[in-house]
Structure 1
């Protein structure tokens, strides 16, 4: 059973998420709250408090600014799936840079949302399909240009990747499967998997969430935008 915490300041939205996840029979909403403070209080009051497998966090739950600091704080101890009405690249990239393991818009259908929760709980990275092309457009030209001048390069940006490895990294970070990357690049899936293994070895990273963050770091800057 996947244990989930939900933070959204709209009561109807919270209840909708709770109901949807409960219906799966595979997910238990341990606590749902309108703010992080309420979530913490709910957990303190619980008879058997436990860590969350995933925290579903509304990016704009606390006023007019994206809660990137909250994403970063929560990501230190839990996997965070950001949920937002916004599909703006600055919000998507800011959340992932802050440590989110996924980003899904509130326009997603039920099946996509449940799949995102399960993917993030399993240690993967989830991204709403419509956001993939947006993120790819943001990553492509800038990532190829290399680190931003005047910034101290991180471990991810110090490593030298070949042009094909950079292309592979950007596509995977944008949410494409290995088979889809192979089609776009005009190579076999086995070749893509070889590129991925080389990327992981060079950047010393593991899962897809880390691959995505590495691509964003190469775009320029590790902090929220």
Structure 2
């Protein structure tokens, strides 16, 4: 059908790949256009909308380069046996539009594909809760440094107030609303209000999507500019 969501699948486990393909083909608004164990033989990006990608493809290392390469061209939904927060954060930073564990049910899987295809962000519910632990660990490894200064405003980026930027930075560093309230010497209800404003401005539909946006912004803010002298 012309308005179907076109999907390609990459998984190096034949039985898992066939199971994923079977689930997707049962959905009337899905069209599977490719299914393989090697991303190198996928159809051209113009032929599909969503790539359902296994994170570990025959090695002990996550295929983050594959995530990054394809995320520049199509929506990438990572479906992995790994529920490690470090893997989730790494995939988000490489541009993945969603991350599900392979324990996700059929309905959640189908819903995640639709969410990703329409520009949203999908995440297994239990992963949204453990991301804060990983971000807090990274913060400790950086010596507990505060969030970086806000990026300069741009015409294609929603402008947040300084307070909203501060709240979003704390979210990216893994703090709960109550912890943010303590650090900023505000009431929790005030922090809740800031978070709702941020979600509205950034068009973040849920906690998972707000976490993704916070991680992406925090990553960009703490990436130092290239020093021209370094290439001399």
TM-score by length of 2: 0.69
Q: What does residue 120 of structure 1 align with?
A: 116
Unaligned runs of 5+ in 2: 153-159, 175-187, 224-232
Contact persistence 1:123–1:207 (CA under 8 A): no
Higher RCO (CA < 8 A, seq sep 6+): 1
Q: What does residue 111 of structure 1 align with?
A: 107
Q: Whole-Å Cα distance in 2 between the matches of residues 170 and 127 of structure 1?
A: 18
For the pair shown, which has the larger CA radius of gyration, 1 or 2? 2
CA RMSD, aligned part only? Answer: 3.4
Contact persistence 2:33–2:47 (CA under 8 A): no
What is the correspondence of 1:67-216 to structure 2 with a 5 Å cutoff? Answer: 67-139=63-135, 142=139, 145-147=145-147, 155=151, 160-162=162-164, 163-166=166-169, 186=189, 192-198=195-201, 200=202, 212-216=212-216
Contact persistence 2:70–2:76 (CA under 8 A): yes
- Answering whether residue 35 of structure 2 is matched by residue 32 of structure 1, we say yes
Alpha-carbon shift at residue 90 of structure 1 (Å): 1.1
Q: Whole-Å Cα distance in 1 between the matches of residues 55 and 150 of structure 2?
A: 26
Flag the 1:221–1:100 CA change in 2: closer, same or farther, 3 A.
farther
Q: What does residue 16 of structure 1 align with?
A: 19
Contact persistence 2:169–2:218 (CA under 8 A): no
- Structure 1 runs (4+) deviating above 2 angstroms are 136-148, 153-156, 159-171, 185-198, 206-211, 213-217, 219-222
Alpha-carbon shift at residue 169 of structure 1 (Å): 6.8
Of stretches 209-218 and 52-61 in structure 1, the one that deviates more from structure 2 is 209-218
Q: Deviations over 1:147-189 (max 9, x none)?
A: 47xxxx7838xx8444545456779xxxxxxxxxxxxx54698
Contact persistence 1:85–1:106 (CA under 8 A): yes
Q: What does residue 227 of structure 2 align with?
A: none
- Answering whether residue 5 of structure 2 is matched by residue 2 of structure 1, we say yes
Q: What does residue 56 of structure 2 align with?
A: 60
Corresponding pairs, count? 191
Contact persistence 1:139–1:216 (CA under 8 A): no
Q: Deviations over 1:95-128 (max 9, x none)?
A: 1101100000011111111111110001000000
Q: What does residue 226 of structure 2 align with?
A: none
Q: Whole-Å Cα distance in 2 between the matches of residues 191 and 161 of structure 1?
A: 8
Matched residue of 2:47: which SS? Answer: coil
Q: Deviations over 1:18-49 (max 9, x none)?
A: 1101111111111000011232xxx37xxxx8
Unaligned runs of 5+ in 1: 172-184, 201-205
